[in-house]
């Protein structure tokens, strides 16, 4: 099947995509499945048995498990072959991240090392720096950390006070400052540290060896969850950093920091899927064993509803995650064919999909919080007991909404980045929005009608939702212009709508592709049926909230249009959810 031209970030709002344009997890090849199996086997053989000891904050144990995973080659999946890694595709990296994501705080330590701990040097280092560091980070000989946050600089990361002064002879910088909340601080050998050189207004990045004189690591923080992951403050007292350890150019630090955060967000989107699938498997096993009122609790409709909804949201998140992963792979290929070096091609391709990265981060972290919470509920009192894995899963899930940029920051990013990219003329978002608003009383609105087939109906609703997003973007930007940035509540409404459109469209394309491949999408039609129905109701509410908040002279027309655009045929959601739950109960494990 011929693939259409690659989408620009956020362009999904104004362009139609065909099922053959996207990658779906049902298309993993043998090698990808083998890598996932290797990751899973490693967790089963080496990690899960130590979880309680890790939770006690045993830094040495965590360090030794990380080293073992390195010896097995797991740390080299994203690293190019010339630096000792395996140079796997982005889809494969994401599948590995998903699999490791089921391993609680080990996953956080592992991902921090392989992602933010290794990739700044891999993507932005020069040849000598890559040889010296990346080759050892790829095998676990060195362990890495990423030091951006400071006591006074969290979300506003560029406001840090850490400072680097060049020595008179130019041989080194003298680094002073304090970093906070640093993952792997307790044992990392190598740190990427962000600091301002002299009186610069923007950050630069440095590779700092922890063994350098003047680097002081604080004790681990007492945290709510991910207790096995070492998180500490780091102090730099007149630390001599060789000039050769400046990463990238002077003043390039903020760009490096942001690029790495885009990558971290996308990978977090994969991690949470692994964690959600494990929580679902634990939940269905418990629900099938636990009896009350003379029957297994899995037989109760209320429990089936929970189990089904956990599956639906996980499956939806997974659809979007691998869709964008393949888009990134394709863009890397395009950049490379244009002469770009592989490391740079990868990080540029990830940065290109900044809107989608933020969507995966926000949607995925909130999906996991929902799943983890329902997992506890299904376990009843036992869910509150530290004896059960779901208790740990609940505590560990919460961090995902905070790090890699809080969900508040990422929600704003979704709208802001889509609008900025469109303004730069990358695609006709505003033109389409103007056109629609101009024809508000006569625009084409999809209405369910027989004999439309299942997929025509679903894609008709998704087209309607895109129109709602465009109408709101138009109304909000016309009303507030540059002051829109101060209207975060409205931006949040629009952001939630954009996110749901991307997730729903990805799910619809996946289910249609499954049908094209297998001839019948079966239970996946139920997943899509429920999801689209729910999404339309949610979008209607968010859109109405935004319109009443904007309250300008065109509100009346907008209210009518949104009402018409969010009109759906009814769905027997009870029966659909029961079928989904019954499959889960029969499989007794997540197998969708
Ligand atoms: C366990 C853990 C591990 C971490 N690991 C690392 C690491 O390895 N390396 C590293 O550098 N950092 C790390 N962090 C730091 C993390 O990235 C920050 O905590 C995060 O970016 C938020 O910064 P903050 O905690 O200062 O919160 P703040 O920025 O003070 O935010 C507080 C609240 O205000 C909101 N807020 C802030 N600004 C805005 C705005 N403009 N609009 C709307 N709302 C806003 C936030 O969303 C949040 O709800 C880690 C944190 C934790 C807890």
CATH number of the domain at 289, please. 1.20.140.10
Residue 260 sits in the same domain as residue 383? yes
- What is the 151 CA–ligand 1 centroid distance (Å)? 10
Ligand 1 atom, smallest distance to 156 CA: 29
- What is the 430 CA–ligand 1 centroid distance (Å)? 32
Q: Residue 242 corresponds to which tokens in the numbers above?
A: 């060789």
> Whose alpha carbon is nearest atom 48 of ligand 1?
406
Question: In residues, how long is the chain?
Answer: 592
Residue 373 sits in the same domain as residue 513? no
Instruction: Give the distance, in angstroms, between the CA of residue 473 and the centroid of all CA atoms in the same chain.
Output: 24
Q: 505 catalytic, yes or no? A: no
- How far apart CA 371 and CA 283 sit, in angstroms, is 10
The reply to whether 139 falls in a domain is no
The reply to whether 535 falls in a domain is yes
The reply to whether 566 falls in a domain is yes
Task: Provide the pLDDT for residue 2.
Answer: 52
- What is the 506 CA–ligand 1 centroid distance (Å)? 29
Q: Tell me which of 104, 108, 146, 149 to substitute to probe ligand 1's pocket, judged by most ligand atoms within 8 Å of the beta carbon.
A: 149
Q: Tell me which of 180, 217, 403, 411 to substitute to probe ligand 1's pocket, judged by most ligand atoms within 8 Å of the beta carbon.
A: 403
The reply to whether 521 falls in a domain is yes
Task: Kindly write down the DSSP assignment for every residue of 293-337, as one continuous string.
Answer: TTEEGGGSHHHHHHHHHHHHHHHHHHHHHHHHHHHHHHHHHHHHH
> Whose alpha carbon is nearest atom 40 of ligand 1?
409
Q: Which of 98, 150, 356, 404 is catalytic?
A: 404
The reply to whether 261 falls in a domain is yes
Residues of the chain below pLDDT 70: 1-4, 451
Of 210, 331, 165, nearest to 262 by C-alpha is 331
> Whose alpha carbon is nearest atom 38 of ligand 1?
155
Residue with tokens 């505590």: 395
> Whose alpha carbon is nearest atom 35 of ligand 1?
408
Q: Give the chain's domain count.
A: 2
Residue 386 sits in the same domain as residue 432? no
> Whose alpha carbon is nearest atom 44 of ligand 1?
408
- How far apart CA 520 and CA 281 sit, in angstroms, is 25
**What residues does ligand 1 touch, defined as CB less than 6 Å away?**
112, 146-149, 154-155, 181-183, 223, 231, 399, 402-403, 405-406, 408-409, 488
Residue 331 sits in the same domain as residue 382? yes
Q: Which of 353, 379, 409 is the last residue of a domain?
A: 409
- What is the 232 CA–ligand 1 centroid distance (Å)? 14
Ligand 1 atom, smallest distance to 223 CA: 1
- What is the 317 CA–ligand 1 centroid distance (Å)? 23
Helix (H, G, I), strand (E, B) or coil at 105: helix
Residue 439 sits in the same domain as residue 583? yes
- Domain containing 450 equals 428-587
Residue 554 sits in the same domain as residue 438? yes
> Whose alpha carbon is nearest atom 23 of ligand 1?
154
Ligand 1 atom, smallest distance to 147 CA: 11
Q: Tell me which of 57, 111, 154, 264 to substitute to probe ligand 1's pocket, judged by most ligand atoms within 8 Å of the beta carbon.
A: 154
Residue 291 sits in the same domain as residue 368? yes
Residue 361 sits in the same domain as residue 510? no
Residue 399 sits in the same domain as residue 461? no
Listed in sequence order, the DSSP H helices in 184-252 are none
Residue 280 sits in the same domain as residue 396? yes
- How far apart CA 271 and CA 111 sit, in angstroms, is 9
The reply to whether 363 falls in a domain is yes
Residue 545 sits in the same domain as residue 405? no
Q: Tell me which of 406, 407, 411, 492 to substitute to probe ligand 1's pocket, judged by most ligand atoms within 8 Å of the beta carbon.
A: 406
- What is the 406 CA–ligand 1 centroid distance (Å)? 6
Task: Provide the pLDDT for residue 350.
Answer: 93
Cα dihedral 128→132→138→141 (10° resolution): 180
The reply to whether 540 falls in a domain is yes
Q: Which of 409, 442, 476 is the last residue of a domain?
A: 409
Beta strands at 291-292 and 295-296: parallel, antiparallel or unpaired: antiparallel
Task: Provide the pLDDT for residue 1.
Answer: 45
On whether the CB atoms of residues 194 and 72 are closer than 8 A, the answer is: no
Query: Which conformational region is residue 212 in: left (phi greater than 0), alpha (psi within -120 to 50 degrees), or beta?
Result: beta
Residue 327 sits in the same domain as residue 458? no
The dihedral sign for the CA sequence 227, 231, 233, 239: positive
The reply to whether 127 falls in a domain is no
Task: Provide the pLDDT for residue 104.
Answer: 98
- What is the 155 CA–ligand 1 centroid distance (Å)? 5
Task: Provide the pLDDT for residue 3.
Answer: 59
Q: Which of 381, 409, 437 is the last residue of a domain?
A: 409
- What is the 25 CA–ligand 1 centroid distance (Å)? 32
> Whose alpha carbon is nearest atom 17 of ligand 1?
403
Ligand 1 atom, smallest distance to 145 CA: 8
């Amino acid at each position: 099947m011929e693939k259409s031209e690659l989408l620009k970030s956020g362009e999904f709002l104004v362009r139609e995509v065909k099922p053959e344009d996207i990658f779906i997890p049902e298309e993993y090849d043998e090698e990808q499945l083998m890598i996932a199996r290797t990751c899973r086997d490693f967790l089963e053989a080496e990690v899960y048995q130590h979880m309680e000891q890790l939770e006690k904050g045993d830094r040495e144990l965590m360090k030794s498990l990380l080293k073992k995973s390195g010896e097995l080659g797991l740390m080299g999946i994203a690293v190019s072959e010339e630096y000792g890694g395996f140079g796997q595709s982005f889809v494969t990296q994401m599948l590995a991240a998903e699999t490791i994501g089921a391993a609680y705080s080990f996953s956080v330590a592992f991902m921090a090392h392989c992602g933010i701990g290794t990739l700044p040097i891999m993507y932005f280092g020069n040849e000598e720096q890559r040889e010296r560091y990346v080759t050892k980070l790829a095998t676990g000989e060195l362990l890495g950390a990423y030091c951006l946050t400071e006591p006074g600089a969290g979300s506003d990361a560029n406001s840090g006070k850490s400072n680097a002064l060049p020595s008179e002879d130019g041989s080194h910088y003298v680094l002073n400052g304090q970093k906070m909340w640093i993952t792997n601080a307790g044992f990392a050998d190598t740190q990427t540290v962000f600091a301002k050189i002299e009186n610069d207004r923007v950050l630069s990045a440095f590779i700092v060896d922890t063994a350098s004189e003047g680097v002081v690591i604080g004790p681990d923080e007492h945290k709510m969850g991910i207790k096995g992951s070492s998180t500490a403050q780091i102090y730099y007292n007149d630390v001599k950093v060789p000039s050769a350890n400046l990463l990238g150019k002077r003043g390039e630090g903020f760009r490096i920091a942001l690029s790495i955060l885009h990558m971290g967000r996308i990978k977090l989107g994969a991690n949470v899927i692994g964690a959600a699938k494990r929580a679902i498997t634990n939940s269905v096993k418990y629900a099938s064993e636990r009896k009350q009122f003379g029957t297994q609790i899995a037989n109760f409709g209320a429990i089936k509803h929970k189990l089904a909804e956990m599956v639906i949201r996980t499956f939806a998140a997974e659809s979007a995650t691998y869709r964008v992963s393949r888009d990134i792979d394709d863009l890397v290929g395009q950049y490379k064919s244009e002469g770009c070096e592989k490391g740079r091609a990868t990080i540029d391709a990830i940065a290109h999909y900044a809107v989608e990265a933020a969507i995966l981060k926000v949607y995925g972290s909130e999906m996991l919080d929902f799943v983890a919470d329902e997992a506890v509920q299904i376990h009843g009192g036992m869910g509150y007991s530290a004896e059960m894995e779901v208790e740990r899963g609940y505590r560990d899930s919460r961090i995902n909404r905070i790090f890699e940029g809080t969900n508040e920051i990422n929600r704003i990013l979704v709208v802001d980045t889509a609008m900025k990219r469109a303004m730069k003329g990358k695609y006709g978002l505003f033109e389409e929005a103007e056109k629609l608003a101009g024809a508000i009383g006569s625009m084409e609105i999809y209405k369910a009608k027989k004999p439309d087939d299942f997929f025509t109906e679903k894609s008709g609703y998704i087209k309607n939702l895109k129109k709602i997003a465009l109408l709101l973007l138009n109304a909000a930007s016309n009303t507030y212009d540059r002051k829109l940035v101060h209207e975060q509540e409205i931006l949040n409404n629009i952001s939630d709508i954009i996110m749901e459109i991307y997730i729903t469209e990805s799910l619809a394309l996946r289910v249609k592709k499954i049908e094209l491949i297998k001839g019948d999408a079966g239970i996946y039609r139920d997943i899509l049926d429920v999801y689209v129905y729910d999404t339309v109701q949610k979008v209607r509410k968010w859109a109405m909230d935004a319109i009443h908040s904007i309250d300008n002279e065109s509100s009346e027309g907008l209210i009518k249009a949104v009402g018409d655009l969010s009109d759906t045929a009814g769905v027997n959601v009870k029966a659909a959810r029961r079928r989904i739950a019954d499959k889960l109960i029969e499989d007794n494990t997540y197998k969708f």
